[in-house]
Structure 1
Amino acid sequence: MATNTEINDKKYYRLRVTIGKDKDGKDIIKNFYGTSKTDAENKKIEWMKDNLLGINHVNTKDSLSRSMKNWVWDILKVSGIKATTFERYEGIYRNYVSESKIGKFRLEDIQRVTIQKYYTELHEEGKTYSQIKNLHKVLNMFFRYAVIEGYILRNPCTGIKLDQYEEEEDVDEIDLFDEDGEKVETFTDEEIPILLEGIKNDKLRIMVKFALGTGLRQGEILALKKTDIKDMVVQVTKTLSYVKVFDGPNKYHYETIVTKPKTKRSIRKVNIPTELKKDLAELNTIRIEEKLKLGELYEDNDLLFPSETGTYIDSRNLLRSWKRVFEGIDVPYKRFHSLRHTFATQLIKNGSQLITVSRLLGHSSVKTTEIYAHVLESTKANDVQSLNSLFR
C-alpha cells in the first residue's frame, strides 16, 4: 500500500512491502520511496526483478571497503583457514583496500578496468609484482564470493592482466624479490666465515650453520623435533609462527603456534651436509646441560633448537640475538631469511639443477626458484668487472 510521507520537508510516496521473515519470525519490511505512487511502484518492480536475478541491493550499494570488511570478519575468519593466512589476508585488505581509493567505490560500480587501473597505479608507486599478485588473489576470492551470494552478476577480476607488472630480466637494473615479496639478499663467500666466527652464542651459531646447510625457513627450523632428523636427513612437516590472532576487527593478541608448512611442496626431506654432524652432536650436549641446569623446571618438548627452558624459541628473541651479531662484525646486516637465499645460490653456483634446488627449498614451482639464477647472473657481471684492474 502506498501512503504519503514527509522527509526533510519534502513529500514522498512510500510503498511498504513484506519481503520475508527474520530469524525470530518477524516480518521484514522494505520501503520504496517515490515522487509519486507510480514512481514508488516502479522502484518496487525494479527491485523485485533484480532480486529474482539474485542481486542483493543492500550489499551492492555498500562500498568495496565495507563489503570486504564484512567478508573478512564474518566469512573468511570463521572458514577454518590458518591463523597465519588470515593475518596475511587481513593485512592485504587493511593496507590496499580499507582506506584506499578503490575501497570507496560502490560494489556494483566496480568494473575490470577499475581494478586494472588501480593495479597500474600501485605499480607506478613502486609496489612489486608479488605484492600486486597477492592483492589480486584476495580480491578475486572476495568477488567470487560476492557472485555466489548474488551481490553482483560478474567477477570484475576475471580477465585482469598481471604480466605487465612483472620485473624485467635486466638484473643489473632492478632489485630481485622472493616468493614472499621480500628483497633477495645473500651472504658472499667472504662474509660467511666472518659471520660464523662472530656468533658467540653456540646454539645460535649451530642454528645459522643448519640454515645455511639445509635452506629451511626460520619457522621450519624452530618447529623441528629431534625425531625429525634421522641418518642426517631432516623431515620438514611443520612450521612455527608468531602470529596476530584477531578477537575482532580492533582487538587482537599474539600467539606462537605450530602449523603445517605454507604449501604442500614445503613438506619435504632435505639431506644435511655431513660436516654438520659434529655440530648436531654439540647441540645435543648444549640441550643436556640446559636441562640439568634447570632440573624439574625444564620443559622437555623434544625440540631440536629449544630455548634455555625447553620451550619454543620466541622469534622476537631470535631476531634480537641475530641483530646483535652484526654489531660486532664487519658484515652488513641481512635478514635471517638471507641464509635460505644463500643456500639456494650456493647450490646453483656449484652446479645443482634448478629442479633439485626447487624441491629442497619446497617451492611450489621451479619458476619461483629461477630468481636465484638471476641473482647469480648479477654476481657474475660484478665479478667480471673486477678484472678491470688488470688493464689499468
Structure 2
Amino acid sequence: MAMIFTPKGLRQAQAKLLQGNVLNKNGSAVSRIELTDEKEPSLTAVIGKRSITLYSKATRGKRIQLGKLGESDMDDRKWVSKVREQAFQNRIAIKNAKRENRAILSNSTLVTPGELPLIDYLDEYYYKGIFNSRKAKPQKNSKSQKAMRSHFGSFMHKKLVEVTLQDFDHWKENYGKPVIDSFAGTLTKPGVKDVTKERYFKPLDAVFNFAVRCGHIPRNPFLDQEGNKPTFIDDKEDAGRPLTREELERLKVILESRHIRDRVFCLMSLATGARPCELMGISLNDIDFSRKRILLRAAFTKTKKTRYLQISDKTADMLRDYIEVENVDSILYNSERWLFRNYRKGPNYGQRMKEFRRPWNSIKSAAMIDNRLYDLRHTFAKEIYTQKKDIVITSRALGHSSIKTTENYLSTIGVNLTEEILNLDSLLY
C-alpha cells in the first residue's frame, strides 16, 4: 500500500489496525501493516499496534531503521520531512555506489553526476529525485525539459561543473533582444522583459539547488561571492506601474471604440481590482445584482479561496447592459455561460476567454501607453488606498491573504499618500 506520509495519516492507519479493520487475503485481522511513501518510494513505514517505525531501503533487500514516530523532540511533521529527506539521500548514495561498481567492473572511467551534461542530468537525477515529481508524470517532465531547452539551449550540453555566473550574465544580456527592421526602422519583434526572464530562470536555478543538496556540485554557480542570487529588476517600480491621469483618460477614449467585451473587461479590472484570471472565471450566475457583488470561485483565484467582489451601482448597470447586448443573438438565455467568452462556438456555449493578450496589445498601442494588463489592478490598488487610507480595506479589496502582502504590493507600485482623494466612478464612467 502507498500513501503520502503525514503524522495524522500514519496514526489513522494505526487506529484502523487496532480496531481490526485491516484484513489479509484470508479475511483475518493482521497484526501489522507496511506502507510506502508516495513522495519518496525508498521510505517505508511498518505500523504495529504499539509503534510506527520508518525505514529506508538499502541494498540486497535490507533496510535501515530511521526512527519511530513520536519519539523525537522535533515536531512530528518536521520529523517526517527530515526522515523523507534522509531516505532520499540514502537512495542517491546507493545509486551512486552502484554506478561506481559498474564502472569498476567494466574497467571504464567513472563519470560523476556533476560531470554529466545538463540535458542528461535532468533525466538521470533531477526528474527522478525531486519529491514533488512522481514517476507517473513523464509528460510533465518532458514539457519542462522542452521549455528549458528552448530558453537555455547553450546550457543543455554543458557539464554542471562547467556552468559559471558569466554564462548566466551572457544569457541575461543577449536572450530575447528586440528585433528591429534595419530598412524600415520599425520593431518587428518585441524583446523579452526582465520579469519574463526571471520566470524562465527559476526552474534552471532549482536544478542547480537540487544538485548542491545532493552533493553533485559544491556550489550553485548562479550565486555571487556574497551568496546572493542574480537580480532581474533593479527598480521596484518596473515591476508594476499604475496608470497616470492622462494615460487613464486616453485609455477611456480608446475603449469607447472597442468591442463591448473588451471594453467591459478593462473597466471591470479598473473598477474592482480583480486579477485577469479571476475575471475570466466569472459566469453569469456568479453575479448577484441584488447584493451588488460577484462570486470569484476558488478554482480561479490566486489564493485558491472563494471571495466576493463588491461592485458599484454604475458597474452593475454596465454589466446589465453588457449581458443584454451579449444575449441579443442568443436563442436561449444561458445563466451558466461565461461572462467573458471567446467566439469560437455558438452564443450559448462559447468557451471562456483564456487570455486577453491580443486585445490588450491593440488597446494599449492605440492609447499610447506601455502598461501591462496587470497594471489596471495596480491602478485600482493605488486609488482605493488613496481614498480609504486603510490597509485592511485595501487588502480585502485586492484579495490578499495577509496585510504584509498588501504593504509590499503598495510599496512596489509607489503609492503616494499625499495625492488627493479621487472618486473611482468619476474616473471610469
Paired with 2:409 and 2:143, the residues of 1 have a C-alpha distance of 22
* Matching of residue 211 in structure 1 with residue 261 in structure 2: no
Which letter does structure 1 place at the counterpart of 2:296? V
CA distance in 2, matches of 1:86, 1:375: 42
Contact 1:232–1:273 under 8 Å retained in 2: yes
What SS does the aligned partner of 1:224 have? coil
Q: Which has the higher strand share?
A: 1
Unaligned runs of 5+ in 2: 1-58, 62-97, 176-191, 420-429
Residue 186 of structure 1 corresponds to 243
Which residue type is aligned with residue 206 of structure 2? M
Q: Is the 2:223–2:229 Cα contact (8 Å) retained in structure 1? A: no
Is residue 106 from structure 1 mapped to residue 159 from structure 2 by the alignment?
yes
- Please tell me whether the aligned partners of residues 354 and 370 of structure 1 are also in contact (alpha carbons under 8 angstroms): no
Q: Alpha-carbon deviations, 1:115-150, whole Å to 9, x = none?
A: 5555555566698775565456423432454467x5
Deviation (angstroms), 1:151: 6.8
- The equivalent of 2:116 in structure 1 is 62
Q: 1:333 to 1:130 in 2, by over 3 A?
A: closer
Partners of 1:81 and 1:349 in 2: how far apart? 51
- Report Cα offsets for 1:247-293 as digits up to 9, x if no partner: xxxxxxxxxxxx554445x754332233211112223323442422x
Query: Is 2:102 aligned against 1:30?
Result: yes
CA distances 1:277-336 after superposition (whole Å, capped 9, x unpaired) = 1112223323442422xx5xx8763322334343224446x5444455568x65446544
AA matched with 1:282: D
Unaligned runs of 5+ in 1: 1-18, 22-26, 35-39, 48-56, 179-183, 239-258, 381-392
CA distance in 2, matches of 1:70, 1:362: 42
1:93 is matched by which residue type in structure 2? Answer: M
Matches of 2:415 and 2:212, distance apart in 1: 42
8 Å CA contact retained: 1:223, 1:312: no
Give the Å deviation of 1:33: 8.6
Find the counterpart in structure 1 of residue 374 from structure 2.
Answer: 337
CA 1:86–1:347: 2 relative to 1, 3 Å: farther
Match of 2:231 among 124, 148, 165: 165
**Percent identity (aligned):** 16
Displacement after TM superposition at 1:176 (Å) = 0.8
**Secondary structure, aligned partner of 2:339:** coil
One-letter code aligned to 1:176: D
Is residue 233–residue 239 contact of structure 2 (8 Å, CA) maintained in 1?
Answer: no
TM-score (norm 1): 0.55
Change (3 A) 1:330 1:223: closer
Partner residue in 2 for 1:156: 220
By relative contact order (CA 8 Å, sep 6+), the higher-ranking structure is 1
Contact 1:237 1:261 in 2 (8 A): yes
Note the C-alpha offset of 1:213.
0.8
- Superposition deviation, residue 367 in structure 1: 5.6
Q: Among 334, 338, 363, which residue is 1:303 paired with? A: 338
In structure 1, how many angstroms separate the alpha carbons of the residues matched to 2:311 and 2:326?
20
1:142 to 182, 197, 207: 207
Distance 1:291 1:217, change over 3 A: same
Provide closer, same or farther for how the CA distance between residues 63 and 303 of structure 1 changes in structure 2, counting only shifts above 3 A: same
Q: Which amino acid aligns with 2:249?
A: E
What residue identity is the alignment partner of 1:209?
L
| Alpha-carbon distance between aligned partners in 1 of 2:398 and 2:215, rounded to the nearest angstrom | 41
TM-score for the superposition, normalised by structure 2: 0.51
> 2:409 corresponds to which letter in structure 1?
T
CA distance in structure 1 between the aligned counterparts of 2:281 and 2:348, rounded to whole angstroms: 15
- The answer to whether residue 216 in structure 2 is matched with residue 176 in structure 1 is no
Determine the structure 1 residue equivalent to 2:351.
Answer: 312
